[in-house]
Amino acid sequence: MNKTKLTPKSKNISNWYLQLMELAELADYSYAKGTIVFKPYAYAIWEQIQKTLDNWFKQDGVENAYFPLFIPYSLLEKEKTHVKGFSPELAIVTIGGGEKLKEPLVVRPTSETIMYATFSKWLKSYQDLPLKINQWCSVVRWEKRTYPFLRTSEFLWQEGHTAHLSNDLAKKMVLKALNWYYKLYTDYLAIEPFIGQKSSAEKFAGADETYAIETPVENGKSIQSATSHNLGQNFSKAFNIQVLNKDNQLIYVWQTSWGLSTRTLGALFLAHGDDKGLILPPKIAPYQIILLPVTNDNKVLSLTKKLEQDLSNDFRVRTDLKLKKGLGWRITNWELKGAPLIIEIGKKESQSKQLTLKIRNRDNKININQQNCRQEIAKLLDELQTDLLTAFRKKKQKLLQKVETKEEFIKAINQKKFAKAYWCESKLCEAKIKDDTKAVSRVVELDNLNQDDNRTCFYCGKPAKREWIIAKSY
Amino acid sequence: MNKTKLTPKSKNISNWYLQLMELAELADYSYAKGTIVFKPYAYAIWEQIQKTLDNWFKQDGVENAYFPLFIPYSLLEKEKTHVKGFSPELAIVTIGGGEKLKEPLVVRPTSETIMYATFSKWLKSYQDLPLKINQWCSVVRWEKRTYPFLRTSEFLWQEGHTAHLSNDLAKKMVLKALNWYYKLYTDYLAIEPFIGQKSSAEKFAGADETYAIETPVENGKSIQSATSHNLGQNFSKAFNIQVLNKDNQLIYVWQTSWGLSTRTLGALFLAHGDDKGLILPPKIAPYQIILLPVTNDNKVLSLTKKLEQDLSNDFRVRTDLKLKKGLGWRITNWELKGAPLIIEIGKKESQSKQLTLKIRNRDNKININQQNCRQEIAKLLDELQTDLLTAFRKKKQKLLQKVETKEEFIKAINQKKFAKAYWCESKLCEAKIKDDTKAVSRVVELDNLNQDDNRTCFYCGKPAKREWIIAKSY
């Protein structure tokens, strides 16, 4: 590991983040433009996320499948808004098996078109609905600027795709998926994101409505953290996905798609952490407990082994036996990596009934009895999980500022805040805000969705009904 | 579902297999040449396989990671035998983000080169060894002829990649991985494959040695079912992967790679099954028990629900409520899909203490007591698992034939057998056999690896030391 001193998070969060890619062994840049290696420690967090979401999906009757990586260009073109939105960022295969291809193949940027061409063959009757398919895979969207996890040419994600008999049913699905994402962020990642609907300029190419969760960062930037789209009948008409309804009439199905990607890892790393490194919420950390034997004394090693065995039933435990590195180095290393709980096991512990613990967000060490350590540790990890969410909520509250005028808005954006303001919702006004300030509408929060106030737009002065969250974005 | 009558397996196994792709909802052809959709029922089996292998890998300290899909052509070229082996089947991206790329990007056919370029940055000292990385992903190898699961341009797999301090340690890893695959096939898929080493003509491009398991099919064709390669120092020299050993000398590491793909699903479908459809071994079936309520009588439905709840703790259970389809249709459907156990729940069952069961490989129905049904069902599923392996072993034995002369060999191959014969192991002889008969050496079995007999080659008459399995292949 590189011994470069970590830039304090409070000084420069961007440098802090980029340095941690190497220091906490999260990612490496790779050889094709914009691509990264997801190193084992970061990938293990992705696996925790996968397990959690996949479980919820399956309980709801969503089935996993796998559709091809390659989409013939002619399929992508079928939904006009969709192809327009994605064409600037496509990677295209033109040679296969040593020959120039007659039709170029797009490496999937998302799978609506390749899936829905097949859905049209699967669906015949209302009895085949709802169809709920999910896929875990990688997708490619060409990027000029790379930022590990948050902006990469290839990323990992899940994409859910469903078909329903009515718009109402589709809309329910859209919100259900959105709530899974919100729950993952809040209950597991200790992040309380903004949750709401996107403006028409910011919605998914081909959707009627896009909902999203957004993670605020203290540098005033928002991370679009997951999206859920109501596709209406746009794709079912383009791909001719019709079923016979109960009255024996052919109708176009109503569709949704929703996705959460490895951007989530970027959001997680930025959300918590301090000048010593990452802080990972216990519910999602690859290892919740790190056992550090101080010496290779037999008694020390046998107590370590015993603890590993005992605790592994209830927790994700890892023993770090790199004794040559010294205790201080190993503690620093696991603090960099944000391990929730470190247990030092030295001669003292091997001869007493005590354990010495270090919780990642507290400065002082804690002594507990070995005998009932399981319950004590569970309690401490729960407290850490709660502490992180509480701290995040405070940060979010501090970042949020209500504004009423253009001047207040510009001041807020310059102070790296998230503005909340009555906005006219017009595409023209949105473009102007972006040109002038680089800020963009993020969401109208679910609580404000049905607002119907008689107000004026903070920016252009035209009528405005609802309050929006507006900020710069990653 | 299509009501086309299934071709009997005994009559034409190839038609039977292809018809089941649709009838048992396993795969659909997709739009780019050679690609298929892995439908939920087949994908669920892949998930069972993933879970099983992933668990063994992790217990052994193998860590999952994710490396990019795109390999710059110049990286692929670094190991000369490797690029020569793979170049005829590459898919190549030449356009990215609307621009012609300066250097074309290869869509990974396998990840040795993209991984090892990075390994050379990670590894410094013997203390960093062994490095054990695994990746679950899809790979692309252009195919002219498509055969679902067995021959597709894109397939799913895992690829393990390790680096060690000595050839001995690498070789141990090669055999450990090979044994995981053998155990998965034998203990879970109820397939006892041939297990052994490949000839030099058939080994992996860039490897010193390739080991493989091979599944025999009754049409006389062998399915290469998983491979494990000893890469020696071929790649570490090409990618300059050096570490300081204990004597502080720089040495090139010794490497292995090993992979198992969704071909396994093809092998599984072909291995068992009968004229009614698939038969899935209980240990790997997506659903081990299918509950079929006969009517929508309240008592029937409440017994169904109770059974689902009770049995779900111990088994993978699915209730089929498509009552409109009728009982006969549903039974036929789940027999096509190879469900191990079907429980019919009618009025009789709802009023008695009996259950009516149908085990997929037996003609008669079985009655058991509802009260201790859990143990009874576990026993029946175990018996089915054992029956399938026993039946497979018998088939394998019948397919295998020792031959001593060219004439005997040609006769055996024409009779769709797997020949076992003393062979000279020369590339020239292998090419001649292939030209004349389309058969190829599959493996020298582990038991015959150290044979050192004084015999003559069955084909060319030159000296031969060891017996080989020789057959046509998929």
pLDDT truncated to tens, each residue of chain A (474 aa)?
Answer: 445 589 999 999 999 999 999 999 999 999 999 999 999 999 999 999 999 999 999 999 999 999 999 999 999 999 999 899 999 999 999 999 999 999 999 999 999 999 999 999 999 999 999 999 999 999 999 998 899 999 999 999 999 999 999 999 999 999 999 999 999 999 999 999 999 999 999 999 999 999 999 999 999 999 999 999 999 999 999 999 999 999 999 999 999 999 999 999 999 999 999 999 999 999 999 999 999 999 999 999 999 999 999 999 999 999 999 998 999 999 999 999 999 999 999 999 999 999 999 999 999 999 999 998 999 999 999 999 999 999 999 999 999 999 999 999 999 999 999 999 999 999 999 999 999 999 999 999 999 999 999 999 999 999 999 999 999 999
Query: Which residue, of B384, B408, B438, is where some domain finishes?
Result: B384
Instruction: State whether A65 and B322 contact (CB < 8 Å).
Output: no
Dihedral angle at the C-alpha atoms of B110, B113, B114, B115, nearest 10 degrees? 90
Contact status, residue B158 vs residue B133, Cβ threshold 8 Å:
no
Residue A301: burial class (beta carbons within 10 Å; 0-12, 13-18, 19+): middle
Helix A263-271 with A40-59: angle, nearest 10 deg? 110
Shared domain for A253 and A375, answered yes or no, is no
Q: How far is CA A372 from CA A318, A346, A355, A367, in A?
A: 20, 19, 11, 12
Taking contacts as CB-CB distances below 8 angstroms, the residues of chain A near B30 are 67-68, 114, 118
Q: At what angle do helices B298-312 and B373-399 cross, to 10 degrees?
A: 70
From B43, B63, B154, residue closest to A40, measured CB to CB: B63
Angle at A463 between CA A458 and CA A468, to 5 degrees: 50
CA closest to A54 among chain B residues: B47
Q: Distance between the two ends of chain A, CA-based, in angstroms? A: 28
Among residues A207, A75, B88, the alpha carbon closest in space to that of A90 is found at: A75
Minimal Cβ distance to B88: which of A98, A105, A117: A98
How near does any CA of chain A get to the CA of B374, in Å? 23
User: Looking at beta carbons, which pairs linking A388-394 to residues 24 or more positions away fall under 8 Å?
Assistant: A388/A190, A388/A272, A388/A279, A388/A281, A388/A361, A389/A186, A389/A190, A389/A191, A389/A192, A389/A281, A391/A272, A392/A190, A392/A191, A392/A192, A392/A271, A392/A272, A393/A192
Helix (H) or strand (E) holding A42: helix A40-59
Residues A362 and A415 in one domain: no
Of the three residues B384, B416, B439, the one that is the final residue of a domain is B384
Q: Could you tell me which of A17, A447, A438 has the C-alpha nearest to residue A194?
A: A447
Is the preceding peptide bond at A282 cis, omega within 30 degrees of 0?
Answer: no
Q: Does any domain span residue B276?
A: no
Question: Is A403 found in the same domain as A370?
Answer: no
Q: Is A2 part of any domain?
A: no
For A24, other C-beta atoms within 10 Å of its C-beta total 24
B43 with B140, same domain? yes
Distance between A160 CA and the closest CA of chain B, angstroms: 13
Does residue A327 share a domain with residue A253? Answer: no
Question: In this structure, are residues A413 and A436 in contact, taking their beta carbons and an 8 Å threshold?
Answer: no
Determine the Cα–Cα distance for residues B200 and B92; give it in Å rounded to an integer: 28
Q: Record the tokens describing residue A267, joined without a space.
A: 């959001």
Beta carbons of A31 and B324 less than 8 Å apart: no
Nearest CB partner across the interface for B95, out of A94, A96, A156: A94
Q: What are the residues facing B63 on neighbouring strands? A: B133
Q: Which of the residues B58, B60, B69, B143 would you substitute to probe the A interface, choosing the one with the greatest number of A C-beta atoms within 10 Å?
A: B69
Residues in Cβ contact with A315 at an 8 Å cutoff, skipping those fewer than 6 apart = A288, A289, A377, A381
Query: What is the structure's pLDDT at A2?
Result: 44
CA distances from A177 to A166, A268, B289 (A): 17, 20, 29
CB contact under 8 Å between B95 and A95, yes or no, is no
DSSP state of A184: I
Calpha distance B406→B408 (Å, rounded): 6
If asked whether residues B139 and B214 sit together in one domain, one would say yes
Answer whether the bond into residue A130 is a cis peptide, omega within 30°: yes
What is the rounded distance in angstroms from the CA atom of residue B17 to the CA atom of residue B221? 14
Q: Which amino acid is at A130?
A: P
Residues from chain A contacting residue B142 (CB–CB below 8 Å): 96-98
**Domain closes at, from A217, A237, A271:** A271
Q: Do B70 and A28 lie within an 8 Å CB cutoff?
A: no
Task: Confirm whether A28 is domain-assigned.
Answer: yes
Nearest to B93 among A46, A92, A156 (CB): A92
Report the residue of chain A nearest B127, measured CA to CA.
Answer: A322
A-interface mutation test, from B37, B39, B137, B318, most A Cβ less than 10 A away: B37
Task: Select from A304, A337, A322 the least CA-distant residue to A41.
Answer: A337
d(CA B379, CA B382): 5
Is residue B416 within 8 A of residue B471, CB to CB? The reply is no
- Angstrom distance (rounded) from CA A30 to CA A18: 15
Residues of chain A with Cβ-Cβ distance to B94 below 8 Å are: 92-95
B394 part of a folded domain: no
Task: Say if residue A110 is in the same domain as residue A215.
Answer: yes
Distance CA B71, CA A30 (A): 9
Distance of CA B237 to the CA centre of its chain: 31
**DSSP string of A86-122, one letter each residue:** HGGG-EEEEEETTEEEEEEEEEPSSSHHHHHHHHHHH
| The dihedral formed by the CA atoms of A344, A345, A347 and A348, expressed in degrees to the nearest 10 | 60
Q: Is A189 in the same domain as A99?
A: yes
Token duo for residue A294? 């101080």
Burial A149-170 (b: 16+ CB within 10 A, else e): bbbbbbbbbbbbbbbbbeeebb
**Shortest Cα distance, chain A CAs vs residue B276, angstroms:** 23
Please answer whether residues B234 and B252 qualify as being in contact, where contact means their C-beta atoms are separated by less than 8 angstroms.
Answer: no
Angle between helices B406-414 and B427-437 (to 10 degrees): 50
> Do residues B381 and B341 touch, judged by C-beta distance below 8 A?
yes
One domain for residues A29 and A103: yes
**Chain B residues touching A33 at Cβ < 8 A:** 96
Q: A245 with A155, same domain? A: yes
Q: Can you point out the beta strands (E) in B128-208?
A: 131-140, 154-164, 194-197
Chain A residues with CB inside 8 Å of B322's CB? 127
CA distance B456 to B421: 10
Candidates B55, B57, B62, B66, partner chain A, best to mutate (most A CBs within 10 A): B66
Q: What are phi and psi of A27, to 5 degrees?
A: -150, 155
Alpha carbon B286 to chain centroid, angstroms: 16
The continuous run of DSSP H or E covering A226 comes out as: strand A221-232
**Cβ–Cβ of A31/B117 closer than 8 Å?**
yes
B239 part of a folded domain:
yes
Same domain, A148 and A262: yes
**How far apart (Å, rounded) are the C-alpha atoms in residues A401 and A396?**
10
Contact between A458 and A406 (Cβ < 8 Å): yes
Closest-CA distance, A210 to chain B, in angstroms, reads 24
Given the cut 0.90, state whether the ipTM is greater than it.
Answer: yes
CA distance A450 to chain B (A): 38
Per-residue pLDDT, A372: 87
* Residues B232 and B95 reside in one and the same domain: yes
Q: Which residues are CB-neighbours of B403 under 8 A, at least 6 positions away?
A: B409, B411, B412, B419, B420, B421, B458
* CATH at A361: 3.40.50.800
Closest by Cβ to A118, choosing from B28, B69, B98:
B28
Range of the domain at A328: 289-380
pLDDT at A4: 59
CATH code of B138's domain? 3.30.930.10
- CA of B158 vs chain A CAs: smallest distance (Å): 13
Helix or strand holding residue B255 (H, E) = strand B254-261
Comparing CB atoms, the residue among A88, A89, A154 nearest residue B68 is A154
Structural domain tally of chain A? 3
Residue whose pair of structure tokens reads 């052919």 in the numeric block: A250
pLDDT in tens, chain B (474 residues): 445 589 999 999 999 999 999 999 999 999 999 999 999 999 999 999 999 999 999 999 999 999 999 999 999 999 999 899 999 999 999 999 999 999 999 999 999 999 999 999 999 999 999 999 999 999 999 998 899 999 999 999 999 999 999 999 999 999 999 999 999 999 999 999 999 999 999 999 999 999 999 999 999 999 999 999 999 999 999 999 999 999 999 999 999 999 999 999 999 999 999 999 999 999 999 999 999 999 999 999 999 999 999 999 999 999 999 998 999 999 999 999 999 999 999 999 999 999 999 999 999 999 999 998 999 999 999 999 999 999 999 999 999 999 999 999 999 999 999 999 999 999 999 999 999 999 999 999 999 999 999 999 999 999 999 999 999 999
Gap from B265 CA to chain A (nearest CA, Å): 14
Count chain A–chain B contacts defined by CB atoms under 8 A: 172
- Is residue B390 situated within a structural domain? no
Residues paired with A420 in a beta bridge: A402, A469
Work out the number of other CB atoms within 10 angstroms of the CB of residue B188: 18
Sign of CA pseudo-dihedral A270, A273, A277, A280: negative
* Residue A367: DSSP 8-state: E
Asked if the structure places residue B458 within a domain, the reply is: yes
Q: Residue B109 domain-assigned?
A: yes
Give the residue on A whose Cα is nearest the Cα of B29.
A118
Shortest CA distance from B324: residue in chain A: A127
Answering whether pTM is above 0.95, one says yes
Question: Of A97, A121, A138, which has the smallest distance from its Cβ to B89's Cβ?
Answer: A97
Residue A87: its chain B contacts at CB < 8 A? 98
The three-state secondary structure class of B429 is helix
pLDDT at A144: 85
Residue B315's region, left for phi above 0, alpha for psi from -120 to 50, else beta, is beta
